[in-house]
């Protein structure tokens, strides 16, 4: 998909990068550790290869759109107590960017040396409703490769980059011999969230024990 508006890309408070890395390194070795997302059953491809995740606000199952809406409207959502600096960074970045909608899924990613997140789009309905932001914590564009909509993107440490994951095929390659880290967080489109919010259905589903199947702190 060809973009009709310029992509937002900026260097965001470089001193924040050191604080984020320090917190991330301090959390290494603690349990639960990194989580490896798997491709859906029946798929032979391995989109995420050796890409690993930690969740800042829970392992939210975004195929369950009602669950994602409830979480977006939750005034007291779960926050990972081990990664407060990352959570604060995402909240401040959202305000700095002027994004009016609440935060959606928030993750810390690690791609091990010489591995990747393969080219793909995220095509659940949730992905139509959000804008995605990627903040690179280490390495540089000579040792990594980031491609959005067939265009290479700057990926130096301290760069904040916008992505439309539903429309734009995207991929991340670690060409280095070091682990590569970046923060990914979503911001909701308020118009879409308002249209999807149903107080009656949301209240009933929020109390349904089955909902816990589709959400986890880790």
Residue 183 structural domain: 9-26+45-208
In a domain, 63, yes or no: yes
Element (H, E) at 189: none
Neighbours of 163 (CB within 10 A): 22
State residue 2's pLDDT score. Answer: 60
Total number of domains in the chain: 1
Instruction: Going residue by residue through the chain, which has 218 residues, state the pLDDT in tens, using 9 for 90 and above.
Output: 567 678 888 887 778 899 999 999 999 999 999 999 876 565 555 788 889 999 999 999 999 999 999 999 999 999 999 999 999 999 999 999 999 999 999 999 999 999 999 999 999 999 999 999 999 999 999 999 999 999 999 999 999 999 999 999 999 999 999 999 999 999 999 999 999 999 999 999 999 988 888 888 87
> In terms of DSSP H, where are the helices of the chain?
14-27, 65-73, 84-97, 190-196, 199-206
In a domain, 2, yes or no: no
Q: What is the CATH number of the domain that holds 187?
A: 2.60.120.10
State residue 212's pLDDT score. Answer: 85
State residue 49's pLDDT score. Answer: 85
In a domain, 185, yes or no: yes
In a domain, 58, yes or no: yes
72 and 138 Cβ atoms separated by less than 8 Å = no
In a domain, 106, yes or no: yes
C-alpha to C-alpha distance for 155 and 172, rounded to whole angstroms: 10
In a domain, 3, yes or no: no
State residue 214's pLDDT score. Answer: 84
In a domain, 38, yes or no: no
**Which whole-number Å values give the CA distances from 165 to 6, 79, 129, 131, 206, in the listed order?**
15, 24, 10, 7, 27
**Helix 84-97 vs helix 14-27: crossing angle, to nearest 10:** 150
The CA-based angle 171-173-178, given to 5 degrees, is: 145
* Closest CA relative to residue 215, chosen from 82, 76, 71: 71
* Closest CA relative to residue 148, chosen from 116, 172, 183: 172
In a domain, 111, yes or no: yes
């Amino acid at each position: 998909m060809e973009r009709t508006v310029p992509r937002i890309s900026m260097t965001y408070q470089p001193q924040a990068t050191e604080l984020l890395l320090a917190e991330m390194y301090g959390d290494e070795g603690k349990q639960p550790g990194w989580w490896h997302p798997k491709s859906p059953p029946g798929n032979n491809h391995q989109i995420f290869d050796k890409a690993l995740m930690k969740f800042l606000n829970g392992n939210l199952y975004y195929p369950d759109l009602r669950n994602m809406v409830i979480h977006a409207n939750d005034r007291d959502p779960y926050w990972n107590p081990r990664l407060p600096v990352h959570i604060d960074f995402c909240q401040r970045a959202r305000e700095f960017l002027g994004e009016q909608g609440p935060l959606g899924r928030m993750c810390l990613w690690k791609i091990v040396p010489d591995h990747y997140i393969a080219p793909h789009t995220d095509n659940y309905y949730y992905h139509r409703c959000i804008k995605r932001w990627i903040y690179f914590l280490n390495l540089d564009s000579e040792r990594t490769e980031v491609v959005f909509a067939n265009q290479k993107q700057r990926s130096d440490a301290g760069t904040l980059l916008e992505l439309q994951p539903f429309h734009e095929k995207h991929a991340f390659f670690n060409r280095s011999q070091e682990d590569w880290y970046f923060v990914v967080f979503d911001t909701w489109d308020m118009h879409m969230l308002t249209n999807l919010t149903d107080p009656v259905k949301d209240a009933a589903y929020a109390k349904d024990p089955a909902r816990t199947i589709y959400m986890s702190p880790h």
